[in-house]
Structure 1
């Protein structure tokens, strides 16, 4: 565990404090430069643009994931046994699909010439989408990646929230209905307070997973067009591999770790609080 987890982290920290480029990668002799790489990043306007885009990507994804997952969980709770089994099985299958496979499917769905999305829109009368190059437009590519990440993340969140909903006693719902409460009031005043610890845990996990999304973006757009879909993990890899600035790439990764650590603190606080309540 020390070798697989702590050593790579310590090595990345060390490289972020050195002048480490392709020559140093081969020779192994790197000069210590202290916090110069971090200063270079923090004074780079492009870096701050990437940071803002990362938080925007995370916020949009997490909001959609939590809303859709809660709606799916509530729907599943109200279905009969057969349809509930169908929905849960579908969620598990979607969740189990490998990330690269799902990303490739989405690439084909939105392919400019052979994609079913363009053909469907054209058949509905939107002729402007005939051979529309989705991945050549930053906003369209960003929206597709958001859709992909949400589609991959909703199953886990929905199944977890559904499991939490099954722990709410039915007597509480019946009592609330007898008191004249509607469906929304029951959800807000009865159900949500009881499942709030699970909701917060799922929220923290989704923040972490979307914040460090890399595979989907790298396979689909590699951060393009331009920088339209570049977030911090992609920026770190681009800097390290394309520019062969392994020192700046490691520094960007360390900043990402620091930002995610704040979310981890919230996650563990909520986890320990839930354990104490139980």
Structure 2
């Protein structure tokens, strides 16, 4: 008769013999800590590749195809190489729209940063109740959907029943009683600029107000003891703390305003006579409106390249300024 005996549970010594690692091994802990950030990056990187990477690859492939309604219906793939890019880069309309887009972005970013900074500094100086009221109003304006805000501005600037024309007529500008704000290039851009700046100010103002809360009060007290007035305190104490926030916010505003499709298209669809088209609207009109999908994809890719050049140029200026300060 054979008697079977159970193997005793493995203890720490057995673990050491089998794995060669000691409990609480510092090297293992260091490896785990070093790998943790990369493991945490896996989900967002995967999501980015799926929802941004694949559409970008698909759009790149379409930009090298002759894709119109016939090819789309028949599921045909007709490659034409760089013909779309050659046609676009040789078009005077594309360069006019590009210059218009850069000027439009520059004006809107300048006004947004200027007014947003002033509003942010105002919020920092208000009392608690007024600060809460103004911040609430800013958040509501910021949270309003773009299409809803654009519709409201269409009502405000309507030629016959718009509030803006009614107010201008009542204060003495009778020629503006039935003025068509979307009938000209500059007047249409004026409406779009007011809309975009109004929607962008809250982000800048709230960011700047948050930045002012990080400034130690002792610095202002020291500046006052040194005889610094309000302007000197602002330039020597406030601005050095706000500068990184201003650089980062300006960078984001350049991206957001350069690709402002909804506001421009919803106000007047790039009209009149396509004189208010910026690059995103131009890509949509050529691609979807005129059913030249390959051409529209090529314009979209060139838009991305131009935006990268603008942002890289801005970052180069920012980094050079920081090096000069050091």
TM-score by length of 2: 0.80
In 2, distance between residues paired with 1:173 and 1:199? 20
In 2, distance between residues paired with 1:166 and 1:266? 30
Q: Which has the larger radius of gyration?
A: 2
In 2, distance between residues paired with 1:44 and 1:264? 24
Q: Which stretch shifts more, 226-235 or 99-108?
A: 226-235
Please tell me whether residue 137 in structure 1 is matched to residue 184 in structure 2: yes
1:59 corresponds to which of 106, 110, 114: 106
The answer (yes or no) to whether the contact 1:205–1:267 under 8 Å persists in 2 is: no
Alignment-derived partner of residue 258 in structure 1? 305
SS in 2 for 1:113: coil
Alignment-derived partner of residue 256 in structure 2? 209
Please tell me whether residue 31 in structure 1 is matched to residue 78 in structure 2: yes
Alignment-derived partner of residue 150 in structure 1? 197
How large is the Cα RMSD of the aligned pairs? 1.8
Please tell me whether residue 104 in structure 1 is matched to residue 159 in structure 2: no
Q: How many residues align?
A: 272
The answer (yes or no) to whether the contact 2:254–2:311 under 8 Å persists in 1 is: no
In 1, distance between residues paired with 2:107 and 2:172? 29
Give the drift of 1:264.
Answer: 5.3
In 1, distance between residues paired with 2:217 and 2:200? 28
SS in 2 for 1:180: coil
2:237 corresponds to which of 190, 202, 216: 190
SS in 2 for 1:31: coil
For structure 2, the 5+ residue unaligned runs are 1-46
Alignment-derived partner of residue 169 in structure 2? 122
Q: Deviation per CA, 1:126-172: give whole Å up to 9, x if none.
A: 01101111111111110110010000010011101110011011111
Greater relative contact order (Cα < 8 A, sep 6+):
1
Give the drift of 1:266.
Answer: 7.1
For structure 1, the 5+ residue unaligned runs are none
The answer (yes or no) to whether the contact 2:165–2:177 under 8 Å persists in 1 is: yes
In 2, distance between residues paired with 1:249 and 1:212? 15
In 2, distance between residues paired with 1:262 and 1:166? 34
Please tell me whether residue 168 in structure 1 is matched to residue 215 in structure 2: yes
SS in 1 for 2:182: helix
Map 1:77-92 to 2 at 5 A: 77-92=124-139
Map 1:33-52 to 2 at 5 A: 33-52=80-99
In 1, distance between residues paired with 2:188 and 2:311? 29
In 2, distance between residues paired with 1:186 and 1:36? 58
Alignment-derived partner of residue 206 in structure 2? 159
In 2, distance between residues paired with 1:44 and 1:176? 58
In 2, distance between residues paired with 1:185 and 1:211? 35
Give the drift of 1:4.
Answer: 2.2
